[in-house]
Amino acid sequence: MIVKSLSVANFRNYQQEKIDFSENTNVIYGNNAQGKTNLLEAVYLFSHGKSHRAKSDSELVRFGQDFARLTLEFADKDRDLKAVFYLEANGKKRVKINNVPITKLSMLMRYLNVVMFSPEDLDIIKGAPQVRRKFLDEAISQLYPVYLKTLISYHKNLAQKNNLLKKLRLAGKTDDDMLSVWNEQIAEDGSKIMEYRRDFVDAISRFASEIHKNISGEKLDLCYMPSVECDEINKENFLAKLNQGMAREIENGSSLYGIQRDDLRLYINDREAKIYASQGQQRTAVLSLKMAQMEHINETRGEYPVLLLDDIMSELDISRRQFLTEKIKGKQVIITCTDIEDETPDATAFFKVESGKIIKGMNEL
Ligand SMILES: Nc1ncnc2c1ncn2[C@@H]1O[C@H](COP(=O)(O)OP(=O)(O)O)[C@@H](O)[C@H]1O
Ligand SMILES: [Mg+2]
């Protein structure tokens, strides 16, 4: 997949700008807080329908403006596409692709795939389980829109169930017919989600281990840790676990079992990376994970995603930087950095960003 151009109007600190990307490595550079990440965020928006970092979509509209408008021209292996994204300051958003409105934002992922890698991704290793679940959910949704649909349905039912559990606890009750109804639906969606997660972890695990071994000579293993453990993942087994735990859940006043408690464990040389790995080892593990995600998208979709690398080059040592440079050859990459010296020798386009303005071209350095 190739992103050809991005136009932004009243987006973040940009008033009106257009950027034409090269098909290879693009470098966006400039001082801190000038708007570099904002541009990656804009591209990401077109693949996920939401920002990778904003709490609310209204943050994305330029201060004091009513709406933002972004246009992305891109192409996959079969066709050229043009997407327009409107964001209102009240949080409403609308998207059109080739002039056809997209009713479900999750559909965007069918058109454009991106993999973003930023320093905060270290939290995938170091952070709480929810960070790892977010990584899994976004990565899987990107390939299978039905996964996102199932996840949304699951969480809707879970919220209803939690409300009921709270009420039962307050009322000192031990059972309610509605609880079985929610559990039934939760087991239905939950077992599907578990299967997707298991298969995805299996798939990227193969790539990640090999990549990691190439970079560091170390052994990296990924392990999906479902909160509902069973010999075989299916609705019946999931439901059986929920029913077994029903009394405890009522006593607790909220859900104790389900995919909202899953985790993903990473092991380096058989030791859990979150606990034992050094900062450098953890960083390498995330790099392997992201590269694996990229390979897996290529394997599934038959083409590589656009890679968005936010400020990560300066954090990698020479050999890892070389490895990455080698790995991204022939793919489209958009990199941000503060120091252009740090950058890959293969870059073909440079864009300097200064308080929401883009100054293009090597010559204008
Ligand atoms: N909605 C907004 N309207 C105007 N400016 C914004 C908005 N959101 C963020 N900014 C500004 O964008 C800048 C940060 O941009 P960012 O792309 O994160 O910087 P960097 O170049 O360091 O990656 C900050 O100056 C911030 O004040
Ligand atoms: Mg930044």
Mean pLDDT of 220-235: 94
**Candidate from 6, 12, 69, 90 with most ligand 1 atoms within 8 A of CB, to mutate:** 12
- DSSP 3-state assignment of 42? helix
Nearest CA to ligand 1 atom 4: 13
Percent of the chain with pLDDT over 70: 98
Alpha-helical runs (H) found in the chain: 36-48, 108-111, 123-126, 129-143, 145-171, 177-216, 235-244, 246-252, 273-276, 279-301, 318-327
Output the pLDDT for position 177.
Answer: 87
Output the pLDDT for position 99.
Answer: 96
Nearest ligand to residue 309 Cα:
2
Residues with CB under 6 A from ligand 1: 12-13, 30, 32-38, 59, 61-63
User: Does pLDDT of 362 surpass 80?
Assistant: no
Q: Identify the CATH class of 122-301.
A: mainly alpha
Nearest CA to ligand 1 atom 16: 35
From the options 3.40.50.300, 3.30.2130.30, 3.40.50.740, 3.30.930.10, give the CATH code of 1-113+305-365: 3.40.50.300
Mean pLDDT of 352-362: 86
Question: For the segment 181-202, what is each residue's pLDDT rounded down to a tens digit?
Answer: 999 999 999 999 999 999 999 9
Residue 275 CA to ligand 1 centre (angstroms): 34
Cβ-based burial of 191 (10 A; exposed 0-12, middle 13-18, buried ≥19)? buried
Nearest CA to ligand 1 atom 20: 33
Return the ligand 1 atom nearest residue 60 CA: 1
- DSSP 3-state assignment of 115? strand
Nearest ligand to residue 28 Cα:
1
Residue 356 CA to ligand 1 centre (angstroms): 8
Cα–Cα distance for residue pair 38/43, rounded to 1 Å: 9
**Candidate from 8, 38, 45, 53 with most ligand 1 atoms within 8 A of CB, to mutate:** 38
Question: For the segment 152-162, what is each residue's pLDDT rounded down to a tens digit?
Answer: 999 999 999 99
Residue 76 CA to ligand 1 centre (angstroms): 30
Going by C-alpha positions, the residue among 108, 76, 139 that lies closest to residue 293 is: 139
Output the pLDDT for position 364.
Answer: 45
Q: Which of 170-174, 287-291, 358-362 has the lowest mean pLDDT?
A: 358-362
Return the ligand 1 atom nearest residue 62 CA: 3
Return the ligand 1 atom nearest residue 32 CA: 22
Question: For the segment 68-102, what is each residue's pLDDT rounded down to a tens digit?
Answer: 999 999 999 999 999 999 999 998 999 999 999 99
Output the pLDDT for position 9.
Answer: 98
Residue intervals in the chain for CATH 1.20.1050.90: 122-301
Cα–Cα distance for residue pair 88/324, rounded to 1 Å: 38
User: Does pLDDT of 363 surpass 50?
Assistant: no
* Mean of the per-residue pLDDT values of the chain: 94
Better pLDDT: 358 or 341? 358
Percent of the chain with pLDDT over 90: 85
Going by C-alpha positions, the residue among 186, 173, 185 that lies closest to residue 253 is: 173
Output the pLDDT for position 105.
Answer: 82
User: Does pLDDT of 342 surpass 70?
Assistant: no
Residue intervals in the chain for CATH 3.40.50.300: 1-113+305-365
User: Does pLDDT of 365 surpass 60?
Assistant: no
Return the ligand 1 atom nearest residue 31 CA: 21
Question: For the segment 96-136, what is each residue's pLDDT rounded down to a tens digit?
Answer: 999 999 988 888 888 999 999 999 999 999 999 999 999 99
Return the ligand 1 atom nearest residue 355 CA: 25
